[in-house]
Structure 1
Amino acid sequence: MIFQDFIYQLQYLGIQDVLLPFILIFTITFAILQKINIFGDGKKNIHVVIAIVIGLAFITPHVLWGTGTDPSYPYLSNGMLDLVVVMNAALPKVSILLVAIIMGMLMLGIFGREVSIAGTSLAGWAVILTIAFVAWAFASSAGFFGPPGTPRFFGFYIDQELLTLLIIIAAFFLVIMYITKEDNNDPGKGLGKKLKDLMGEFGNVINK
């Protein structure tokens, strides 16, 4: 197919292994520097230079010492961890998490529930579970839990069917807890309020 050949051509040119990781690291680094203003106001040019350097430093080991034989092998030819391979393997898992969150919100909306996680007591659990999932995605892609892509729980490998069942049970439990809980907490306090403020600040940085 023409589209498939086009994707293969982009892969051959290094779009996935070089350009996309560089753009992602550059964007995240630049946004953080713009937010914290460690060099003071009006130092956008310095932030750009630092972000470019960090982005190049991130992809250079992969370009120079990447094996290129197995896309799932997370180590360079010198034995060091290949960060580009780890990131490329972890991002689809993180994307699945985002899709699951959006689908959960849509389901709650269909059943007539107002979706407002950042202002409720459920926000704390949502943040903890999200951080844990992202950490697991990157750690498993780096091969810390055995062969890359093989899930393991407390040292024991589990198959995809059991993992899917556990995720469904956890998601069902969270939805039931959200629907049946009583909002007795002050929405202006707690981790949910802090998360909401953090999201607002990040949005302001993006809009600048």
Structure 2
Amino acid sequence: MAEESVFRTAIGFLDKLGVYDIILPFLLVFTLVFAILEKTKILGVEKVKDQEYTKKNINAMVAFVTAFLVIASTQLVAVINSVMANVVLLLVLSICFLMLVGSFYSDKEFSLENSPKWVKFLMVFMFIGIILIFLNALDWLETVFGAVFLLFTSLDAEWAATTLFLLIIIGFIWYVTHEPKRASKPEEGKK
């Protein structure tokens, strides 16, 4: 059996202290509420020598009490921990996408308008690939494919073939009848 690392032991110790269940949610709620109260000035301002200052002491007290009320509820803390984990996952997803998109560009400013169509296609393909990777990591991909597989296995072959045929026909009709966007030409005679 492998020995635990010092860092893993330290994180376990912080978990036993309640850093992740009490301190971090408290700091998050306090910071967000205080920042909103400071920005909106909803509790008023004080005038000192023609300068307006927010009532920091009242804003801090309201944020402090709100944060304590939130950490008193274990359900709210669980929701905050779950939401923050998903937000961080989404942030990592967006950074991965930006790194992959950046591999097609030099140090110039990013713009999709001047990009060739194959670059746009690859970016969409990479974005879908990243989504599939993260869905697989969360075990959601198995659930989605399981539902689709169950749907198609519960239908008999005639229904599946008819549905596929109708989808192909609808796609072909849309492809033939849609009008491509035309680039606007500058009006002649105007200088």
| TM-score of the two chains, using structure 1 as the length reference | 0.46
Q: Larger Cα Rg: Structure 1 or Structure 2?
A: 2
Q: Which has the higher contact order (CA 8 A, sep 6+)?
A: 1
